[in-house]
Amino acid sequence: MNFKIYKNAFEESLNNIDLKTLIGIIKDLQSTRKKGGRVFCLGVGGSAANASHLVNDLRKLCNIEAYCISDNVSELTARINDEGWDSCFSNWLKVSNLNKKDCLFVLSVGGGNIKKKVSMNIVESLKLGKKRKCKILGLVGRDGGYTKKVGNNVVVINVNKKELITPIVEPFQVVLWHFIVSHPSLKINKTKW
């Protein structure tokens, strides 16, 4: 693959972003902040790193209480070791008293898939979120998986070249959340640069 192929695929994905859904995410985050709710960001692999960075921006720029479940590696690995992968996020959320004022924000390439048993820790968290009536937001790829199926506002980053799904979706998460946290209806604090 050369850079031109990647650039063209990236531009094609950008041109297909659902702006209405993107604005819906911003409105849901505004509402969560107004209600005094919290945002719990979920991701695995590269998307876990993105979720951690998103939490920084939500807290620092938007004054939204936010947490990334995978940031506490000691608790995460203890839960995986003792309870298993599937419940490691949902049990963390139970201890945090996830409630209807809160929101789950999923960053994922696939969005979770029950049939294929992929990202089941995200799936189980979303089941808990639905049960507790919190908003579900997401920036996902492919068809959006379980996140798109049950979410309130989930942007699906469409990628037509299968071999480029992860290399386009993960950086796109960064581009889109920077737009979200920089939106004048969310951003409260000025940036240094």
pLDDT in tens, 26-55: 999 999 999 999 999 999 999 999 999 999
Residue 102 DSSP label: -
Residue 106 DSSP label: E
Residue 66: per-residue pLDDT: 98
Residue pair 125/98 in contact by the 8 Å Cβ criterion: no
Burial of 134-155, coded b for 16+ CB within 10 Å and e otherwise, reads bbbbbbbbbebbbbbbbbbbbb
Domain limits, the chain: 3-134+141-182
For 135, the enclosing helix (H) or strand (E) is: strand 135-141
Residue pair 142/110 in contact by the 8 Å Cβ criterion: yes
Residue pair 13/168 in contact by the 8 Å Cβ criterion: yes
d(CA 175, CA 48): 15
Comparing CA positions, the residue from 138, 141, 106 lying closest to residue 22 is 138
Residue 193: per-residue pLDDT: 84
3-state secondary structure of 113: strand
**Angle between helix 165-182 and 3-15 (nearest 10):** 50
Residue 142: per-residue pLDDT: 84
3-134+141-182 belongs to which CATH class?
alpha beta
pTM of model > 0.85: yes
Residue 168: per-residue pLDDT: 96
φ, ψ (nearest 5 deg) of residue 141: -115, -165
Instruction: Extract the residue ranges of the chain whose pLDDT is less than 50.
Output: none
